[in-house]
């Protein structure tokens, strides 16, 4: 595997860039700045950058085929959201009773369901019911809880055959693998897939066509590519200390998009890493997989 080449660093200076996805029909990359309540779309061909204000913090989202609407997880729950009009229709707010939590990472699975996990944003949970959890939307008229007991859920993705699911608990520095039942959406056989050193946290991920897991690592200045067995295959050093999420895209799915954050960085740190918060675009020799459309 050749080292990916940085071809563009888009100077958007996101506070907390996240949730990056490639839209094949539009030939555009989409992502969110959670803390600044912004949604971005960037078309590679003409370098057109569109920015929308979101009604609340938009944590993650998925595309709906032939629709301007997005299936989205705002900080408070699941919703249908139309960026062009700003209209939002709430679907479910399963942790409305937990004001210290907010939604975080998520994406659409290959069966067309939308998944999103929460995080403990402040305070100390007093029970497992107050800790972060993972929910799905699409198979029933309400959000369904599948996993619980996390501090910050992250890195949710699936193997190409959907039989393995990956979920990280960022503050713990642990990335888990689960057996995944495609029909029911249930998780079983939890095991440790990978761990990160102290001070480095597994963040957003994607899976390539070979089943390798690409993981942005907050605090580590790097994106790590793991084999399906958890072996480190490649480490991509990036010019930002807080890479947050990754996705493959481009005309042949060989471009790697990496969001990043400026949050919590001092003036001295920002001076040392002027690209913090930018969208980084790399050319690779790896084939990625397309994002799945919501069909719930």
How many alpha carbons lie under 13 Å from residue 78 in its C-beta half-sphere?
Answer: 25
Length of the chain: 296
- Known catalytic residues? 203
Return the number of other C-beta atoms located less than 10 Å from residue 139's C-beta: 13
Q: How far apart are CA 89 and CA 80, in angstroms?
A: 5
Order of all β-strands in the sheet with 255-260: 5-10, 279-283, 255-260, 243-249
Query: What does the buried/exposed string (b/e) look like for 218-232 if buried means 16 or more CB atoms within 10 Å of the residue's CB?
Result: bbbbbbbbbebeeee
- Yes or no: say if 144 and 136 are a contact pair by the CB < 8 Å rule: yes
- Yes or no: say if 134 and 146 are a contact pair by the CB < 8 Å rule: yes
Q: Which two tokens stand for residue 197?
A: 């050193």
- Yes or no: say if 220 and 171 are a contact pair by the CB < 8 Å rule: no
> Strands 279-283, 5-10: parallel, antiparallel or unpaired by DSSP?
antiparallel
Helix/strand/coil for 129: helix
How many alpha carbons lie under 13 Å from residue 15 in its C-beta half-sphere?
Answer: 11
Q: Which two tokens stand for residue 117?
A: 């996990």
């Amino acid at each position: 595997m050749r080292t990916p080449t940085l071809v563009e660093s888009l100077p958007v200076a996101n506070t907390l860039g996240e949730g990056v996805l490639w839209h094949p029909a539009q030939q555009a990359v989409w992502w969110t700045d959670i803390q600044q309540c912004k949604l971005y779309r960037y078309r590679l061909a003409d370098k057109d950058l569109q920015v929308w204000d979101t009604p609340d913090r938009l944590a993650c989202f998925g595309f709906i085929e032939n629709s301007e609407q997005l299936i989205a997880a705002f900080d408070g729950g699941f919703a249908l959201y139309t960026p062009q009009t700003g209209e939002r229709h709430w679907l479910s707010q399963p942790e409305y009773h937990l004001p210290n939590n907010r939604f975080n990472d998520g994406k659409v699975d290959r069966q067309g369901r939308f998944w999103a996990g929460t995080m403990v944003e402040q305070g100390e949970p007093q029970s497992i019911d107050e800790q972060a959890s993972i929910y799905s939307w699409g198979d029933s008229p309400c959000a369904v809880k599948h996993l619980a007991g996390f501090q910050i859920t992250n890195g949710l993705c699936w193997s190409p055959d959907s039989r393995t699911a990956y979920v990280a608990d960022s503050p713990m520095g642990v990335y888990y693998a689960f057996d995944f039942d495609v029909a029911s959406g249930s998780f079983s056989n939890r095991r440790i897939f990978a761990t990160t050193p102290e001070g480095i946290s597994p963040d957003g991920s994607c899976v390539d066509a070979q089943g390798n897991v690409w993981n942005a690592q907050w605090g580590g200045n790097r994106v790590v590519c793991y084999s399906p067995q958890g072996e480190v295959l490649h480490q991509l050093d990036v010019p930002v200390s807080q890479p947050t999420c990754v996705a493959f895209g481009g005309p042949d799915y060989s471009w790697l998009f990496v969001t990043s954050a400026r949050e919590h960085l001092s003036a001295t740190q920002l001076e040392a890493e002027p690209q913090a918060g930018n969208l980084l675009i790399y050319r690779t020799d790896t084939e990625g997989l397309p994002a799945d459309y919501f069909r719930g």
